[in-house]
Amino acid sequence: MGVAVSAGSETNSIFRNDGGIDRTLIQQHFSQLTAGNIMKMSYLHPSENTYTFEHADQLVNFALENNISIHGHTLIWHSDYQIPTWMKNYTGDYATLLQEHVQNITSYYAGRVVSWDVVNEAFADDGDSNAINGYRNSLWYQKLGPGYIEQAFIAADAADPVADLYYNDYNLEGGQQKFDYVLAMVDDFKARDIPIDGVGFQMHINIEWPSESQIKNAFQQVVNRGLKVKITELDIPVNTYANPDKYQTFTAEAAERQKDKYREVVAAYLDVVPPELRGGITVWGLYDSDSWLIDLHGRPDWPLLFNDLRQAKPAFDGFVEGLSD
C-alpha cells in the first residue's frame, strides 16, 4: 500500500514545519512512498554534470528509517516542463546521455529504491495526430526512435539488477488502443530478453469509468505475460469529463459512489493478480487538496482517501473492504 507525497521544498512537503501529522499518517497506513515530483529528471539532473540528490535523499532516508519502501518515479519522461533545458539543447550523443542519466541515478539508489518507473508515458493517446506508429512524438523519440525505451531498461538493469523495472502509463485500463501498443512492446521485449518486470497502471480514473470488467481484463493481459501489475497513481474523482460539475460539494451520494469504486478497483486487483505478481497499489496523494487534479481542472473535487483534516473518508473504508474481499 503506497502513497505519493510532496517533499523537498514543495508547498505540501511532508517535511515542512507542520508536516508532522502527514508523516504520522504515512507511518500508520502506508508501506511504500513515491515522490510525486522530486525524483523526476529536472529535480535530480538539472545540468549536464550536476546531480542534486539532497531532497530525494531526505525522503528515502525517512522511508527507510520507518520500514517503508521507495518506488522511484521516474527515470525517463516526455513532459516538456520536466525535461531540463540542457537536455533539450544537447548537441552530443543522446544515446550516451540517456544511458548515463539512467545508470547514474539508478546506481546511486541501488539497494534503497526497490522499483522504478523506468519510462513514463511513451505511447500516445488514442487519436493523437502527432503519434508515430503509436508512440508519442517526444524529444526522446525524435532523438533516438522507439529504441530509447529498451535502452533505458537495459541501463537501469545494469545499474541495479535487483530493482523491479516498470513501464508506466495512463489510460491503459479502459479498452484504449494505446494498451495494445504497450502489450506489443512488452511481447517484443520478452522475446528479445529486454529486462522488464512489470507494467504500471496509473489508474487516473473516476467513479463512472472504466468498468470492473475492463479493469480486470487489462490486469489479466499483463498477468498472462508473467509480468507484475502495479497500480501506480490511483485517484478517483467524483466529477467526470462527461459531467464535470455534478458535485459542487462532497455529498453523501458522491462519497458512497467513490467508496464503491475504490472497493471495486482493489478487489479486482486482488482477484486477478496472483500474489507473486502484485507490485502493489499506490494512491496519488495523501489528502484531497494535495491532489494534482485540483489544479489541473480548476474545479472542486475530492479524489483521495483522506480529507484535508487528515480524516479517513468512506473511500478509505472502500479500499479496506476491497482488501477484505
The grid cell for 14 is 511532508
Distance CA 275, CA 294 (A): 34
Q: Is 121 among the catalytic positions?
A: yes
Q: Which of 121, 150, 173, 264 is catalytic?
A: 121
Q: Which of 10, 48, 54, 233 is an active site residue?
A: 233
The secondary structure of residue 288, as a DSSP letter, is G
What SS3 state is found at 118? strand
What angle separates helix 314-324 from helix 252-272, to the nearest 10 degrees? 20
| Among the listed residues 53, 16, 80, 55, the one whose alpha carbon sits nearest the alpha carbon of residue 286 | 16
Other residues' Cβ atoms within 10 Å of the Cβ of residue 31 = 15
208 an active-site residue? no
Round to whole Å and give the CA distance between 155 and 142.
Answer: 20
Q: Using N-to-C axis directions, what is the helix angle for 177-191 and 147-159, rounded to 10°?
A: 50
Catalytic residues: 121, 233
